[in-house]
Amino acid sequence: AKDYELRQYETAKWVSTVIRGEPQKEAMRQGFWKLFHYIQGKNEKEMKIDMTVPVTCLIKSGCADFKISFFVPYEHQDSPPQPTDSDVFIEERKAAAIFVRSFGGFASPEKYAEEAEALARILRNRGQPFHEDFFYTAGYDSPFKLFNRHNEVWYFKK
What gap in Å lies between CA 107 and CA 149, rounded to an integer? 9
- Per-residue confidence (pLDDT) for residue 129, from 0 to 100: 98
Q: What is the dihedral of CA 119, 157, 154, 69, to 10 degrees?
A: 160
Q: Where are the domains of the chain?
A: 5-156
pLDDT in tens, 85-127: 999 999 999 999 999 999 999 999 999 999 999 999 999 999 9
Whether the Cβ atoms of residue 34 and residue 25 lie closer than 8 Å to each other: no
Q: Chain-wide mean pLDDT for the chain?
A: 96
- If DSSP codes are grouped into helix, strand and coil, which group holds residue 38? helix
Residue 144 is predicted with a pLDDT of: 87
Q: How far is C-alpha 6 from the chain's CA centre?
A: 16
Fold of 5-156: Multidrug-efflux Transporter 1 Regulator Bmrr; Chain A (3.20.80)
Specify the DSSP element, H or E, that contains 93: strand 88-93
List pLDDT tens digits, range 122-153: 999 999 999 999 999 999 998 889 999 999 99
pLDDT tens, position by position, 48-61 = 999 999 999 999 99
* Amino acid at position 104, single letter: G
pLDDT at 1 over 80: no
Does the pTM exceed 0.85?
yes
Q: What average pLDDT score do residues 42-53 get?
A: 96
